[in-house]
């Protein structure tokens, strides 16, 4: 098995409207790339900025693989760092205290 296939992770999920969606995540170098498609589509859609939901699902997939000793700890940590970065971008900036003189 090549490193390329060991760093490819795939899972399926259902959307709120019931459509099946397949997601692929690949670690190449130190960079994750995610792509997805619906089962009724042939083409994959790349996600340069994956959604928080996709990253959390990836973390769950990798955590399961890590527990079975099929994944390096560093790979799981890198996804957790991406999740934290994503969450920090979504937080609103603190506003200056309006009651201060």
22 close to 12: Cβ distance less than 8 angstroms: yes
Q: What pLDDT does residue 60 have?
A: 97
> Does 100 score more than 70 pLDDT?
no
Residue spans of beta strands (DSSP E) within 1-101: 8-14, 20-28, 31-38, 45-47
Domain regions of the chain by residue span? 3-90
> What burial class does residue 79 get, using C-beta atoms within 10 Å of its C-beta: 0-12 exposed, 13-18 middle, 19+ buried?
buried
| Whole-number pLDDT of residue 7 | 83
Pull the structure tokens for residue 34.
């995610």
Q: Which residues lie below 8 Å from residue 56, measured CB to CB, with a gap of 6+?
A: 83
Q: Which of 63, 48, 61 is nearest to 22 (CA)?
A: 61
Q: What pLDDT score was predicted for residue 1?
A: 44
Per-residue model confidence as pLDDT tens digits over 30-66: 899 999 999 999 999 999 999 999 999 999 999 999 9
Say what the pLDDT of residue 89 is: 87
For the residues 27-32, what does the mean pLDDT come to?
91
């Amino acid at each position: 098995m090549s490193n390329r296939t060991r760093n490819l992770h795939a899972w399926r999920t259902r959307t709120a409207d019931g459509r099946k969606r397949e997601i692929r995540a690949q670690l190449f170098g130190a960079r994750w790339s995610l792509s997805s498609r619906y089962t009724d589509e042939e083409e994959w859609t790349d996600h340069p900025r994956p959604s928080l939901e996709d990253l959390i699902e990836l973390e769950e997939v990798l955590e399961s693989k890590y527990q079975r000793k099929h994944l390096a700890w560093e790979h799981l940590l890198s996804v957790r760092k991406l999740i934290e970065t994503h969450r920090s971008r979504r937080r609103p900036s603190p506003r200056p205290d309006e009651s201060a003189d």
